[in-house]
C-alpha cells in the first residue's frame, strides 16, 4: 500500500507551536484552519490545542456547524475590544506613572489619553493575546485563522508598532533616570524600567519563535485565480521580509479533470493562473484541495485533508478560448446621477473589485458628463489587477472623465509624521536656540506616535471629501476593504473625533510650550472632513451602498451580519449582487453545485434579504480588462 502523503504541518511528530492560515478573503482560510486544528487535536488527545480567529468577521463556529469537538480543542473568536480593555486595565497604573515622570502633561491630560477608545487596535490586541498564550505555554499548538491579507499584514507589523511605543515610553523615563543618577548616584533599575525590559524581552522572544520554522509556520491559502495568486505573491514577500517561515501553500477549490466543457475550461484557466505561482514561489510545496459539490462544513471538515494532493508541475498553457456568456438575472436599478459616493462591500474574494470597476465604467458611459473616480480603500489593493492597468497612489486616468486611485494610507501618514518633526525642529530652533532640552524634545518628537492606529486609514478615507468638495469629481465609486475591516473603518470617524478633541485640548493648553500651526491646521482640516464624511455616509440620496456576496451559506450569513452592522451605523444598502453563480448543465458536479446554490439564493431572498433588490451574476471565466468590465457593467443595471 502506498502511504498517503500530506502537508508537513499535519505531521503527528511536528514540534510546531504556532500555525497561521492567511490569504485573500474568500479562499477558504477558515475551513483549512478548522480542519487542521481538528486533525491535530484528534491525533494527540493528551495535548491541548487552541483554534483562534483574528478576523473581525468571525466564522469559526459556522464552519464547524453541529460537529462535536474533542475536549482538548478550544475555540476562540478574538474580541479585540475586550483584549484591549484587559491590557489597559492590567497596565494602566504603570503607563500613567511613566507619563507623569517624563512629560509636562498633568494627571487630567494623561487620564484623557488613557481613556480614549483607541480605534484600529484589532491587530494589536490579537498580537498581545497570542504573545500571552505563547508565554504561558498553555497549548501544545495554536492554530490561527487570520483576517484577509490587508488585515494580516498589519498584524505582522505589530512588532514595529510595539517597539515604537517602547522607545517612546523609554524616552519618557530617560529624563527621570538622568536626574536620579545625577543627584543621588542611583543608576539601578526601578519597577518601571523592569516593566519596559520585560515587554521588550517578550517581544524579542516572540519574534524569535515566529522566525523558527521548527516552531512556527505560515500557510497561504489561495484560489487558482489570477488576482488571488497575485495577492498571495505580495503576502509571501511580506512574510519573507519578516523572516516568517512559509514552506507550504494550499490551492483550494481546484476543478477535477473531467469531460465537462465548463469544468475543463475552468480547470485550464486555473492551471494558467497557477503557472506564475510555481515560477515565482519555487521554494514552497503546493498542495491542492478539490472543489466539493457540497460546502465542507460540519462533519466534512473532519475529512478535508484526506482529499489533498501535491500539485504537480504544469506544462505550457494558454488561456482557454472557451468563454461563458455574460449572464445577469434581475439587474438592479442604476445609481442615480445625483449620487456622490457608491460603496461596494462584502467578504473578501466575492468580487467587490470587479463590481466596483464595472459600475464605474457603466456610470462613465451612462452619464458622459460625470467625472468619476474609482477609489480603493482596501489595504490589499486589486484595482490595477482587475483593470489590467497601472493604478497609482494619486488619481490615474483610465479613460477621459474616469480616474482610479489606490490610496497609500501608511505612506501618507508617515509624511504627516515627518512634517510634524520638521515643524517642531523649526519651532525649537527659534524659540529655544541656546537651551538644551534633550529629554523634552524627544518626548515632543514622539507625541504624534500616541495617535491611534487607524488614523492613517481615516486620513486616507477623508481624501474622498477632498475629491468631492474640491470639485475634481462628481461621484466616487469605492472598492472597500473586506466586511470586518470596512465596518471598523466606518466606525472610526466617531472614535477618531474623540482623539482629535483630546489632542486639540493639549495643543491649546500647552501652546506656550508647543506652537505648531501647521499640525494644528492639518488636524482642524481632518476634523472638518470627518464631519463632512459622517454627514455624507448618512445621506441616502447621496451615498449608496451595494453588497456583494457569493451563493454559499457562510458568505450569505456574513453578508447579512455586515448589512445589519452597517444599518446600525446609519448606512443602508441599495442592492445586493450574488456573484459567481454556477450555470447549470449535464455535468454531475456543476449540477450538484448549482442545486446547492439555488437553495442558498432562495433562503437569501426569502429570509436574509427580504425586499432587497437582488441581482444574480453568473460565473465568468474572465472579468478583468476594460472591455470585459464594460460589458459586465452594461448588464448589471437597468436604467
Which residues are annotated as catalytic?
55
* SS3 labels along 238-250: HHHHCCCCCCEEE
8-state DSSP, 432: S
The owner of cell 498589519 is 154
Q: Are 5 and 303 in contact (CB under 8 A)?
A: no
**Widest CA span in the chain:** 89
Which 3-state string (H, E, C) describes 208-269?
HHHCCCCCEEEEEEEECCHHHHHHHHHHHHHHHHCCCCCCEEEEEEECCCCCCHHHHHHHHH
Q: Where are the alpha helices (DSSP H) in 510-575?
A: 517-537, 553-568
d(CA 633, CA 622): 14
- Phi/psi at 216 (5° precision): -135, 145
Q: Are 113 and 509 in contact (CB under 8 A)?
A: no
Q: Cell numbers at residue 255, please?
A: 476543478
d(CA 517, CA 528): 16
Q: Which of 296, 241, 263, 169 is nearest to 552 (CA)?
A: 296
Which H/E stretch holds residue 637? strand 637-638
CA distance 360 to 381: 16
Q: What is the DSSP letter of 25?
A: T
* Inter-residue contact 220 to 232 (CB < 8 Å): yes
What Rg, from alpha-carbon coordinates, does the chain have?
26
In angstroms, how far is CA 129 from the centroid of its own chain?
18
Nearest alpha-carbon partner for 501 in 554, 452, 534: 452
Cα end-to-end span (Å), the chain: 63
Question: SS3 for 57?
Answer: coil
Cα distances (Å, whole numbers) of residue 544 to 13, 339, 469, 539? 53, 7, 18, 9
Amino acid at each position: 500500500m502506498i502511504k498517503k502523503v500530506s502537508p508537513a504541518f499535519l505531521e503527528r511528530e511536528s514540534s510546531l507551536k504556532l500555525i497561521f492560515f492567511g490569504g485573500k478573503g474568500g479562499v477558504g482560510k477558515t475551513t483549512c484552519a478548522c480542519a487542521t486544528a481538528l486533525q491535530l487535536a484528534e491525533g494527540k488527545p493528551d495535548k491541548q490545542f487552541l483554534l483562534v480567529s483574528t478576523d473581525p468577521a468571525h466564522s469559526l463556529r459556522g464552519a464547524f456547524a453541529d460537529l462535536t469537538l474533542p475536549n482538548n480543542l478550544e475555540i476562540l473568536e478574538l474580541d479585540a475590544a475586550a483584549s484591549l480593555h484587559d491590557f489597559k486595565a492590567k497596565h494602566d497604573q504603570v503607563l500613567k506613572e511613566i507619563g507623569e515622570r517624563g512629560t509636562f502633561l498633568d494627571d487630567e491630560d494623561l487620564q484623557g489619553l488613557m481613556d480614549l477608545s483607541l480605534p484600529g487596535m484589532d491587530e494589536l490586541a490579537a498580537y498581545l493575546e497570542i504573545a500571552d498564550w505563547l508565554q504561558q505555554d498553555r497549548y501544545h499548538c495554536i492554530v490561527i485563522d487570520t483576517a484577509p491579507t490587508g488585515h494580516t499584514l498589519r498584524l505582522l507589523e505589530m512588532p514595529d508598532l510595539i517597539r515604537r511605543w517602547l522607545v517612546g515610553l523609554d524616552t519618557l523615563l530617560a529624563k527621570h533616570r538622568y536626574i536620579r543618577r545625577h543627584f543621588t548616584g542611583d543608576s539601578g533599575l526601578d519597577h518601571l524600567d523592569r516593566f519596559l525590559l520585560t515587554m521588550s524581552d517578550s517581544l524579542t522572544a516572540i519574534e524569535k519563535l515566529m522566525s523558527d520554522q521548527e516552531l512556527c509556520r505560515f500557510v497561504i491559502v489561495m484560489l487558482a485565480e489570477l488576482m488571488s495568486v497575485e495577492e498571495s505573491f505580495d503576502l509571501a514577500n511580506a512574510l519573507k521580509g519578516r523572516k516568517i517561515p512559509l514552506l507550504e501553500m494550499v490551492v483550494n477549490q481546484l476543478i477535477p479533470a473531467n469531460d465537462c466543457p465548463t469544468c475543463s475550461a475552468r480547470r485550464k484557466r486555473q492551471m494558467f493562473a497557477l503557472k506564475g505561482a510555481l515560477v515565482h514561489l519555487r521554494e514552497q510545496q503546493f498542495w491542492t484541495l478539490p472543489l466539493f459539490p457540497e460546502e465542507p462544513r460540519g462533519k466534512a471538515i473532519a475529512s478535508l485533508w484526506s482529499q489533498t494532493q501535491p500539485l504537480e508541475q504544469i506544462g505550457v498553457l494558454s488561456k482557454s478560448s472557451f468563454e461563458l456568456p455574460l449572464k445577469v438575472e434581475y439587474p438592479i436599478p442604476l445609481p442615480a446621477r445625483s449620487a456622490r459616493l457608491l460603496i461596494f462591500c462584502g467578504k473578501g474574494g466575492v468580487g467587490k473589485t470587479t463590481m466596483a470597476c464595472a459600475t464605474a465604467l457603466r456610470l462613465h458611459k451612462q452619464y458622459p458628463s460625470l467625472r468619476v473616480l474609482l477609489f480603493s480603500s482596501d489595504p490589499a489593493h486589486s484595482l490595477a489587477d482587475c483593470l489590467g492597468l497601472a493604478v497609482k497612489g494619486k488619481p490615474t486616468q483610465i479613460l477621459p472623465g474616469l480616474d482610479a486611485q489606490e490610496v497609500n494610507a501608511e505612506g501618507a501618514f508617515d509624511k504627516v509624521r515627518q512634517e510634524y518633526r520638521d515643524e517642531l525642529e523649526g519651532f525649537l530652533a527659534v524659540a529655544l536656540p541656546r537651551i538644551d532640552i534633550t529629554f523634552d524634545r524627544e518626548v515632543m518628537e514622539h507625541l504624534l506616535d500616541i495617535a491611534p492606529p487607524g488614523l492613517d486609514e481615516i486620513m486616507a478615507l477623508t481624501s474622498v471629501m477632498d475629491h468631492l468638495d474640491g470639485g475634481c469629481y462628481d461621484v466616487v465609486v469605492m472598492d472597500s476593504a473586506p466586511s470586518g475591516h470596512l465596518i471598523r473603518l466606518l466606525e472610526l470617524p466617531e472614535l477618531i473625533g474623540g482623539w482629535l478633541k483630546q489632542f486639540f485640548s493639549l495643543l491649546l493648553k500647552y501652546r506656550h510650550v508647543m506652537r505648531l500651526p501647521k499640525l494644528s491646521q492639518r488636524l482642524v482640516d481632518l476634523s472638518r472632513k470627518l464631519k463632512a464624511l459622517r454627514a455624507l455616509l448618512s445621506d441616502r440620496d447621496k451615498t449608496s451602498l451595494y453588497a456583494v456576496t457569493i451563493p454559499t451559506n457562510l458568505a450569505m450569513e456574513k453578508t447579512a451580519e455586515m448589512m445589519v452592522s452597517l444599518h446600525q451605523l446609519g448606512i443602508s444598502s441599495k442592492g445586493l449582487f450574488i456573484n459567481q453563480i454556477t450555470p447549470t448543465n449535464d455535468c454531475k458536479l456543476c449540477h450538484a453545485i448549482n442545486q446547492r446554490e439555488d437553495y442558498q439564493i432562495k433562503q437569501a431572498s426569502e429570509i436574509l434579504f427580504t425586499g432587497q433588490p437582488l441581482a444574480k451574476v453568473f460565473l465568468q471565466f474572465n472579468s478583468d480588462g476594460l472591455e470585459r468590465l464594460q460589458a459586465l457593467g452594461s448588464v448589471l443595471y437597468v436604467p
